[in-house]
A and B are shown apart, each in its own frame.
Chain A
Amino acid sequence: MARAATTQRKAIVTVAAWIVGIAIFFPILWIVILSFKSEGDAIRTPLEVLRAQWTLESYTTVQERSNYLRHFWNSVVLSVGSTLIGLIIAVPAAWAMAFVPGKRTKDVLMWMLSTKMLPPVGVLVPIYLIFRDLGLLDSRVGLVIVLTLINLPIIIWMLYTYFREIPGEILEAARMDGATLRDEILYVLTPMAVPGIASTLLLNIILAWNEAFWTLNLTAAKAAPLTAFIASYSSPEGLFYAKLSAASTMAIAPILIMGWFSQKQLVRGLTFGAVK
């Protein structure tokens, strides 16, 4: 009896999970479907869209009109670059907060998180003017700095929560064996925390890849990543749904593939780490 009830409960939970999963994924699936339809067909009713002929014409147009590879390469440099620099700063910071907490550690952590609560548009003009004066507008260096800074609180928080799970005695033992601070972080802490660092790295690459406010506002032609590539296919006058869908599919495909292959690490990082 109890077994039957458990099976029934499992079935309900499974069905509910599938419904939620499909509901979340459906818009992406619809974008992919529209990208293989002609502009004329893409605006029809859903059933007519599904019945309409499949075509690659939107992909051909997008390839002809835009330099996809340049945007793609900019996205790779910005997301990987900002995440790596963020990790280099965040690992020692999280170590200090997790293993040598001071009186104000909790306050510092909360203060860092509070910077995420400020609407970015509030600091757009000052940052724009600083970038103009330093000659950093439309440069990958400038954007890597901004993306590093805006994602740093999340990286530190994730690593901090992860490091707190590691027993401090192990580090103490290393110290007693004569390990210096550098050795302790590099050869004892980091190898033990690899799964946590990996999931932090993956999540932050995704966040930086999808960042659309600063990447749109601080770039023009040279440093524009895939977010700017998508924005160039939207239009308030004229038909563009199929081309916009093709551009969106091309922009999200790399990160979707990366997410698919690293889903175990991502789920582990999300459930074990910051949002436990």
Chain B
Amino acid sequence: MKHSIRALMGACAVSALATAALAETTITVATVNNGDMIRMQSMMEDFYAQHPDIKVEWVTLEENVLRQRVTQDVATNGGQFDVMTIGNYEVPIWGARGWLMPLTDLPADYKVDDLLPSIRSALSVDGSLYALPFYGESAMVMYRTDLAEQAGVSLPDQPTWAQIKEAAAKMTDKDAGIYGICLRGKPGWGENMAFISAMANSYGARWFDMSWEPEFDSAPWQAAFKDYLDLMTNYGPPGASSNGFNENLSLFQQGKCGMWIDATVAAGFVTDPEESSVAENVGYAVFPNKDGVDNHGNWLWSWNLGIPKSTDAPEAAEAFVTWATGPHYTQLVAEKQGWRAAPPGTRKSLYENATYLAEAPFATLTKETMDAATPEKPSVQDVPYVGAQFVSIPEFQGIGTAVGQQFSAALAGQMDADTALKNAQMLTQREMTKAGYIK
């Protein structure tokens, strides 16, 4: 009897030790629903092979819902997420407020110096990285080479807005349902205002002067916005005031747009023969500029993985973010799904890889546009803020969307350009005064 009690106790001790050894850490990752992020979820076997003691729970959300959820959680120290997918708009603001963990001692095989300088600087506060980039993008012109040829248009690699207008006029054939140009019109700081802000930058305009006074009443803003309305009214598709990225993507894929100026990530979609009817006939050019203004207004956006201070598993979270954004992951995707599927826009080495350059015809231009993006100096004039297609201050989400609504209403014909600009100036000034920027 004594022996059996001893044996039983021994077995209990062994099983307790075994349970402790097998105890796994579960991390919750909040992420956005897009192709690259979904692909990552299918690559998890590799991560589990390297880290059998870490389990990852995914929370995939639509971009706006995700932004609201993670902001609420990080600001209240909620601790629901161990890793958050955030944009380069949030990273510097959250990093400066101490909401994110600094990522200072990254392992040598992470090759931090391989990150594209523009992206690295956009994710740093006082020289320290606060999130690691998963993929990055800029903006460029995508156009139908077949339509351009038919219309006798030859678009240079670095077109001006005058050349874009001329090409749009020639390519438009409304009877055949073809519109020369498709641009964003749906209101929102990340929708029409991303495009219009970048366009204004390329006209020499800026959101604020050095004392944070808005500049919608300036000549460059007037010229940029009037040209935008002119392009869209004469050569754009009907109902453009409700078109965002997806609506324009589907119009372009169905062959209804001559040109589309939007995020570089779109190039992968419009050249996918399974989804796009024009996959074989797409040409690319740099984001246009106004004659005489040495600024292509390139925007810079990246989706990044950050670790909130509220996490209770910082080591496991860091192991995950370094795996997901490291060079090994790029290699893994290339082996399993081909180089074309590798997450773009974060590492220099990807653009030195001959196989990638051969498989992704838009790669070189993506790299060039990203290199040319200067979020620290988005306009030819001096600015007091950082950000190319946005202004990196917490108030921008609200202001950007309110201004976007005015501009979208002007595109829908509910008011003229001057009224929209006047309203934008008034409401921005009011909000900036309330927030204490304007003394």
Chain A residues at the B interface, C-beta cutoff of 8 Å = 39-40, 43-44, 65, 124-125, 128-129, 132, 137-138, 216-217, 220-222, 224, 228, 231-240
The interface residues of chain A lying within 8 Å CB-to-CB of B63 are 235-237
The answer to whether B80 and A234 touch across the interface, beta carbons within 8 angstroms, is no
| B36 nearest in chain A by CB position | A238
The answer to whether B72 and A124 touch across the interface, beta carbons within 8 angstroms, is yes
**Least Cβ distance of A215 to chain B in Å?**
12
**Least Cβ distance of B302 to chain A in Å?**
13
Binds A, one of B114-122, B154-162, B245-253, B330-338: B245-253
The yes or no answer to B344 lying at the interface (CB within 8 A) is: no
The answer to whether B77 and A132 touch across the interface, beta carbons within 8 angstroms, is yes
**Least Cβ distance of B352 to chain A in Å?**
27
**Least Cβ distance of A263 to chain B in Å?**
32
The interface residues of chain A lying within 8 Å CB-to-CB of B244 are 236
* B33 CB contact (under 8 Å) in A43, A128, A234: A234
The answer to whether B64 and A128 touch across the interface, beta carbons within 8 angstroms, is no
Cα separation A132 to B250 with both chains bound (whole Å): 42
Cα separation A227 to B67 with both chains bound (whole Å): 17
The answer to whether B58 and A238 touch across the interface, beta carbons within 8 angstroms, is no
The answer to whether A239 and B246 touch across the interface, beta carbons within 8 angstroms, is yes
The answer to whether B34 and A237 touch across the interface, beta carbons within 8 angstroms, is yes
| B30 nearest in chain A by CB position | A220
Cα separation A39 to B249 with both chains bound (whole Å): 12
Chain B residues at the A interface, C-beta cutoff of 8 Å = 28, 30, 32-35, 38, 41, 57-65, 68-69, 72, 76-81, 190-191, 244-246, 249-250, 253-254, 263, 265-266, 269, 274-276
**Least Cβ distance of A43 to chain B in Å?**
4
Cα separation A167 to B78 with both chains bound (whole Å): 52
The answer to whether B34 and A238 touch across the interface, beta carbons within 8 angstroms, is yes
Cα separation A129 to B383 with both chains bound (whole Å): 38
Cα separation A137 to B28 with both chains bound (whole Å): 13
The answer to whether A236 and B190 touch across the interface, beta carbons within 8 angstroms, is yes
| A128 nearest in chain B by CB position | B76
Cα separation A98 to B81 with both chains bound (whole Å): 47
* A138 CB contact (under 8 Å) in B33, B62, B80, B190: B80
Greatest chain B CB density within 10 A among A125, A222, A228, A238 is at A238
The answer to whether A235 and B72 touch across the interface, beta carbons within 8 angstroms, is no
The answer to whether A132 and B35 touch across the interface, beta carbons within 8 angstroms, is no
The answer to whether A137 and B80 touch across the interface, beta carbons within 8 angstroms, is yes
Question: Contacts A137-B78, A236-B246, A239-B269 given: A128-B72 contact, CB under 8 Å?
Answer: yes
Cα separation A221 to B82 with both chains bound (whole Å): 12
Greatest chain B CB density within 10 A among A125, A129, A237, A239 is at A237
Question: Contacts A39-B275, A232-B33 given: A237-B246 contact, CB under 8 Å?
Answer: yes
**Least Cβ distance of B231 to chain A in Å?**
23
The interface residues of chain A lying within 8 Å CB-to-CB of B79 are 132, 137
The answer to whether B34 and A221 touch across the interface, beta carbons within 8 angstroms, is no
* A232 CB contact (under 8 Å) in B60, B72, B263: B60
The answer to whether A235 and B76 touch across the interface, beta carbons within 8 angstroms, is no
The interface residues of chain B lying within 8 Å CB-to-CB of A236 are 62-64, 190-191, 244-246
The interface residues of chain A lying within 8 Å CB-to-CB of B249 are 238-239
Cα separation A224 to B65 with both chains bound (whole Å): 14
| A124 nearest in chain B by CB position | B72
The interface residues of chain A lying within 8 Å CB-to-CB of B32 are 235
Q: What are 27 A-B pairs with beta-carbon distances under 8 A? A: A39-B275, A40-B253, A40-B275, A43-B253, A43-B254, A44-B254, A128-B72, A128-B78, A132-B77, A220-B28, A221-B57, A221-B59, A222-B57, A233-B33, A234-B33, A234-B62, A235-B32, A235-B34, A236-B63, A236-B191, A236-B244, A236-B246, A237-B63, A238-B33, A238-B34, A239-B246, A239-B249
| A137 nearest in chain B by CB position | B80
* A238 CB contact (under 8 Å) in B64, B68, B72, B246: B246
| B262 nearest in chain A by CB position | A237
Cα separation A45 to B76 with both chains bound (whole Å): 45
The interface residues of chain A lying within 8 Å CB-to-CB of B275 are 39-40, 239
The answer to whether B33 and A220 touch across the interface, beta carbons within 8 angstroms, is no
The answer to whether B245 and A231 touch across the interface, beta carbons within 8 angstroms, is no
| B265 nearest in chain A by CB position | A237
List 4 A-B pairs, minimum CB-CB distance, nearest first.
A234-B62, A43-B250, A221-B57, A232-B60
| B137 nearest in chain A by CB position | A237
Cα separation A6 to B65 with both chains bound (whole Å): 53
The answer to whether B59 and A125 touch across the interface, beta carbons within 8 angstroms, is no
Question: Contacts A236-B245, A236-B246 given: A65-B38 contact, CB under 8 Å?
Answer: yes
Cα separation A240 to B58 with both chains bound (whole Å): 19
The interface residues of chain A lying within 8 Å CB-to-CB of B30 are 220
**Least Cβ distance of A109 to chain B in Å?**
34
The answer to whether B76 and A129 touch across the interface, beta carbons within 8 angstroms, is yes
The interface residues of chain B lying within 8 Å CB-to-CB of A224 are 59
Question: Contacts A65-B41, A232-B61 given: A132-B33 contact, CB under 8 Å?
Answer: no
Cα separation A231 to B67 with both chains bound (whole Å): 13
The interface residues of chain B lying within 8 Å CB-to-CB of A128 are 72, 76, 78
**Least Cβ distance of B249 to chain A in Å?**
7
The interface residues of chain B lying within 8 Å CB-to-CB of A216 are 65, 69
Cα separation A129 to B68 with both chains bound (whole Å): 15
**Least Cβ distance of B106 to chain A in Å?**
27
Question: Contacts A44-B254, A236-B190 given: A220-B72 contact, CB under 8 Å?
Answer: no
The interface residues of chain B lying within 8 Å CB-to-CB of A43 are 250, 253-254
